Structure 1
Amino acid sequence: MTDKTIERNRILIIEDDTDIAELIAIYLHNAGFLTSTAATLRDADRLLEEERPQLVLCDITLPDGEGTEWVKSMRQYSALPVIFLSSRMEPKDIIAGLELGADDYMTKPFDPDIMVARVKAHLRRFPSAAGAGNGYADKERQWSDGRLELHFGRREVRVHGEELNLPAKELQLLFLLAEHPDQVFSVEQLYESVWGMDGWSDQRTVMVHIHNVRRKIEEDVALPRYILTVRGVGYKFQGGR
């Protein structure tokens, strides 16, 4: 990502701790980003509409509600990348945040440089998930078995003809697997390809997102038809193009 590209990206920071919000903004500004800051979810709604940010950094506990519920509601109409920043570091809290629609989860205290690196990684990958600059030669190529339809150029997913509004990371995982039918990807490979970082310590992030995709495209999550688990190795997409 070039500096010129970064300068066009605005980050919405939802954080009621002024010191933390200012620290995040300083590091993002030094990296070339624009920022908007909301101390409440009400302000976040307004800034989301007015500023049209490209990524959201969201605390979980806010004065007027839970960030998790805000993201869950936003996921009904937007696939905007979201990174939770929270002092809650129990595995159940992290998994719950990811299941509700977050793309990533960082626990406080966090290294600001790593936070910036993750923001850049998510922004590099979000355009392809949204359907722009995806690199496919055939923009009209699609795959269907009569139930599930994948439109590769448009990054569109349909089940029984009804379009699904999948968050960015879920789209990326699904299309990465579908682009390479029957090829087995390890959890580490999927994390590195989609999140852009060494993922040995974040395997649950991939597993939660895979589970979320399965809930939306499979008839029976316990007996998946499309995204199969290769025990001890990873995952693959079953069915070909």
Structure 2
Amino acid sequence: MTMAQPTVLLVEDEPAQRAVLAYNLEAEGFDVTQADNGEDAMMLVDEAAPDIIILDWMMPKLSGIEVCRRLKLSPVTRSIPIIMLSARAEEVDRIRGLETGADDYVIKPYSVLELMARARAQLRRVRPSTAGVVLEHGDIRLDTESHRVYRADKVLKLGPTEFKLLVTLMERPGRVFSRDQLLDLVWGRDIYVDTRTVDVHVGRLRKSLMLFGGDDPVRTVRGAGYALG
């Protein structure tokens, strides 16, 4: 069973530089979406929030610093890590970038290998399952390497879809996911599945999690979706 690829939005107006970065990100296992200006970047985030954004400062239509400011002001997108790319090497510019909300600031020209390492570090922070770690929430423990799930030390048997659904919820406890977001993250963007399918699999996941007793850890948020805890 394969886990969904981590997604990155690459926003860079220089075509050659964007092509190099996209190639290396795909080689690192990222599913890459690209934009060459700030306005398109905002639309793409609105359509499907990525796991991480690599964002150039100087761009047409809407600057990277303004894109970063808007995304970090919104409660829906503020948790997405942003790596800012800039030719501005002055300390005041670095501070401005970080104060706007950027999670990391990389000065041009940069080492592509270093940028990939920084992207992986940010990804491990928001999607720990990519590092092969054990996720825990209350008395639920999920081992992403052995694909085993325990509740109160009892082994639970989950189907592949329920496992991926639980990983998604456990990576971001407390966050409310809409049905469409869960379809993208668990089933994939290119697969058409009715949103009611999400309800069916959430029901199966709940049944498995409560097989040996305990409270229902999956919260239904009326009109919004589902969250863990």
Q: Which bracket does the TM-score occupy, shorter chain normalised?
A: 0.5 to 0.7
Please list every run of 5 or more consecutive structure 2 residues that lacks an aligned counterpart in the other structure: 129-133, 141-171, 176-229
Runs of 4+ off more than 3 Å: 133-139, 153-156
Match of 2:108 in 1: 108
Distance in 1, Cα, partners of 2:19 & 2:48: 18
CA deviation digits over 1:82-136, x for unaligned, max 9? Answer: 00011111111001100000000001111111111111110111147xxxx7646
Give TM-score scaled by structure 1 length: 0.51
Q: In the TM superposition, what is the alpha-carbon distance from 1:52 to its structure 2 partner?
A: 2.4
Corresponding residue of 2:43: 46
2:66 match: 69
Give the Cα–Cα distance (whole angstroms) in 2 for the partners of residues 47 and 155 of structure 1.
24
Pair 1:33–1:154, CA change in 2 (3 A):
closer
Equivalent in the alignment of 1:16: 13
Deviation of 1:138 after TM superposition, in Å, equals 7.4
The offset of 1:60, in angstroms, is: 0.6
Aligned length: 135
Match of 1:91 in 2: 91
Distance 1:107 1:27 in 2: 18
Residue in structure 1 matched with residue 125 of structure 2 by the alignment: 125
Q: 1:28 aligns with which of 25, 28, 31?
A: 25
Q: Secondary structure at the match of 2:29?
A: coil
TM-score normalised to the size of structure 2? 0.54
Which position in structure 2 is the counterpart of 1:144? none
**Per the alignment, do residues 64 and 109 of structure 1 end up closer, same or farther by CA in structure 2, a change over 3 Å counting?**
same
How big is the shift at 1:29? Answer: 0.9
Amino acid at match of 1:64: K
Equivalents in 1 of 2:19, 2:85: separation in Å? 14
Match of 2:163 in 1: none
User: Partner of 2:190 in structure 1?
Assistant: none
- CA–CA distance in 1 between the matches of 2:173 and 2:6? 22
Alpha-carbon contact 2:83-2:106 (below 8 Å) kept = yes
How far did 1:155 drift? 7.0
2: distance between equivalents of 1:84 and 1:61? 10
Distance 1:54 1:37 in 2: 14
1:127–1:134: 8 Å Cα contact kept in structure 2? no
Cα deviation code 1:4-63 (max 9, x no counterpart)? 55x611110111000111110011111111111111111101211223211000001111
Counterpart of 1:202? none
Specify every segment of 5 or more residues in structure 1 that has no aligned partner in the other structure, as ranges. Answer: 140-152, 157-241
Counterpart secondary structure, 1:58:
strand
Q: Quick one: which amino acid aligns to residue 95 of structure 1?
A: I
| Distance across 2 between alignment mates of 1:66 and 1:90 | 18
Distance 1:96 1:52 in 2: 24
Verify: 1:60 aligned to 2:65, yes or no.
Answer: no
